Amino acid sequence: MNSYENYFKHEPDHNGNFGPYGGSYVSPELNKIMEEIRDAYETISKSQKFVSELRAIRKHFQGRPTPVYHAQRLSERLGNCQIYLKREDLNHTGAHKLNHCMGEALLAKYMGKKKIIAETGAGQHGVALATAAAYFNLECDIYMGEVDIEKQAPNVSRMKLLGARVVPVSAGLKTLKEAVDACFAAYLEDPVNQIYCIGSVVGPHPFPQMVRDFQHVIGVEAREQFFEMVGEDPDVVTACVGGGSNAIGIFSGFLDSCSELHGVEPLGRGEQIGDNAASLTYGSEGIMHGFNSIMLKDKDGGPAPVYSVASGLDYPSTGPEHAFLRDTGRAKYFTIDDEHALEAFYVLSRLEGIIPALESSHAVAHAMRLARENTGKRPLSILVNLSGRGDKDMDYIISHFGFGEKYLEKFNSLG
Ligand SMILES: *Cc1c(COP(=O)(O)O)cnc(C)c1O
């Protein structure tokens, strides 16, 4: 355990490597721009002024600390467990993403940038970044595939209300990948006035480190809150893993504890390539979007098509630090399919009065499975990072799966 004392000093190293993973694999042109961000991050973000300004924003604008909640009814119904939820769904805008967007935008402000830009798929990152831009009075361009613009109309409206410009991308399949390409291209055109704000612990150095550091607040709060409530650390800390930012946020507060750390990847419809987005479970080492990690590949070695009912989780790779924590054995990774995520969605809504995001439902479902499988004498204590609220998913879920009677009946029959 003591080996984790200096963890944050050494991981990543100064080139952004977590063991063999991470780094920066970009063109010399882009690397020069990354250099600027690295330098700014190293100096500015460590200054007392930056730290206290971000702390005040977290408290007065975001509504932090978010509570830890004991899900007593759910725990009783499952038996032999005590489940707790870190309520990131109560963070302003309804998810953990604002934690790093406010940090990135504050850095942009200190660096004298006029505009923050990003891509978005389902629109969650776009909304969080547009919120940060409004707060700091920065311009904001969000690149989005035309197909996604059509599918995610409410989030497009939110971004526009917040003052962001939504830039339609019409190349290729007109979804996330093309939006990433368009955003990088726009960034290269004007790196002086703009800055790219990545949406998870992915991309070239320093983004995986920077986004982790901005999400670390989840783990720090949760460790203290849980200890205050229970008098010890949880047996298991669990979170869903798309790019991996909410998971690394909570894990990073417990690295030097005895708690097991469980990341949960989406199994979607099954194990076949194209039916899931469980990159750490089925992927192999490779470079994508400027960093080295474990990724799902198609037969030509490029990023594979991915699927999950939770669009925030369908990314064909995972942050390099997760690949590293998996190899070292400090964290373990599991999968949950669509059906079990949906069961958790309906059960948590009904039993606890909390409608979770479909992404977060994967972590809840894993906790439910651990509870059902716990044959030990002692109830298992599980802390779930509830990364976001489910309002965004309601229309889709109700039109496809109704009000969940099938899932609730199954849950009731299992006791
Ligand atoms: C975007 C999103 C995720 C996935 O992103 P990570 O970087 O893996 O945390 C998870 N939950 C919610 C609610 C999201 O919006």
Ligand 1 atom nearest residue 247's Cα: 9
Q: Which atom from ligand 1 is nearest to the alpha carbon of 357?
A: 13
3-state secondary structure of 35: helix
Cα separation of 235 and 254, whole Å? 11
Q: 97 CB less than 6 Å from ligand 1?
A: yes
Q: Hey, whose CA ends up nearest to atom 13 of ligand 1?
A: 388
| H-helix or E-strand spanning residue 48 | helix 48-57
360 lines ligand 1 (CB under 6 A): yes
> What is the tens place of the pLDDT at every residue in 298-310?
999 999 999 999 9
Ligand 1 centroid to residue 27 C-alpha, Å: 28
Rg of the chain in Å (alpha carbons): 20
Q: Is the beta carbon of 95 within 6 A of some atom in ligand 1?
A: yes
Say if residue 3's pLDDT is above 90: no
Structure tokens at 95: 């998810």
Catalytic site positions: 97, 119, 387
* Mean per-residue pLDDT, 183-195: 94
Give the residue-averaged pLDDT of 344-350.
98
pLDDT band at residue 14, thresholds of 50, 70 and 90?
very high
Tell me the β-bridge partners of 266.
336
Residue 388 Cβ contacting ligand 1 at under 6 Å: yes
Q: Compute CA distances 203 → 27, 131, 192, whole Å.
A: 13, 22, 20
pLDDT bin (cut points 50, 70, 90) of residue 2 is: low
Secondary structure in 3-state letters for 75-89: HHHHCCEEEEEEEHH
pTM for the full model? 0.97
Secondary structure of 90-131 in the HEC alphabet?
A: HCHHHECHHHHHHHHHHHHHHCCCCEEEEECCCCHHHHHHHH
- Over range 92-109, report the average pLDDT: 98
Q: Which residues contact 28 (CB under 8 A, 6 or more apart)?
A: none
From the list 312, 396, 293, the residue with the least C-alpha distance to 362 is 312
* 198, 216, 324, 340 from 265: Cα distances, Å: 20, 20, 16, 12
In ligand 1, the atom with minimum distance to the C-alpha of 88 is: 13
| Three-state DSSP state, 294 | strand
Check pocket membership of 241 for ligand 1, CB cut-off 6 A.
yes
Give me ligand 1 centre to Cα 89, in Å: 11
β-pairing, 17-18 vs 21-22, is: antiparallel
- Per-residue pLDDT reduced to its tens digit, 235-272: 999 999 999 999 999 999 999 999 999 999 999 999 99
What pLDDT digit, counting tens, does each position of 365-376 carry? 999 999 999 998
Q: Distance, CA 152 to ligand 1 centroid (Å)?
A: 16
Atom of ligand 1 nearest to the CA of 242: 8
Give per-residue pLDDT as tens, 20-64: 999 999 999 999 999 999 999 999 999 999 999 999 999 999 999
Residue 102 corresponds to which tokens in the numbers above? 């406010």
Distance 364 CA to ligand 1 centre (A): 14
pLDDT bin (cut points 50, 70, 90) of residue 177 is confident
What is the percentage of the chain residues whose pLDDT exceeds 90? Answer: 92
Residue 158 and residue 142 in contact, taking contact as beta carbons nearer than 8 Å = no
Indicate if ligand 1 lies below 6 Å from the C-beta of 103. no
Instruction: Judge contact between 368 and 351, C-beta under 8 A.
Output: no
pLDDT of amino acid 415: 62
Is the separation of the CB atoms in 314 and 306 below 8 Å?
Answer: yes
**Rounded alpha-carbon distances, angstroms, from residue 406 to 343, 347, 355, 412:** 9, 11, 17, 10
| Rounded CA separation 36/116 (Å) | 15
Q: Tell me the C-alpha distance between 80 and 93, whole Å.
A: 34
Closest CA to 338 of 403, 265, 263: 265
Q: How sure is the predictor about 175, in pLDDT bands with cuts at 50, 70 and 90?
A: confident
Rounded distance, CA 224 to CA 214, Å? 18
**pLDDT the model gives residue 1:** 47
12 touches 209 (CB < 8 A): yes
Q: What is the mean pLDDT of the chain?
A: 96
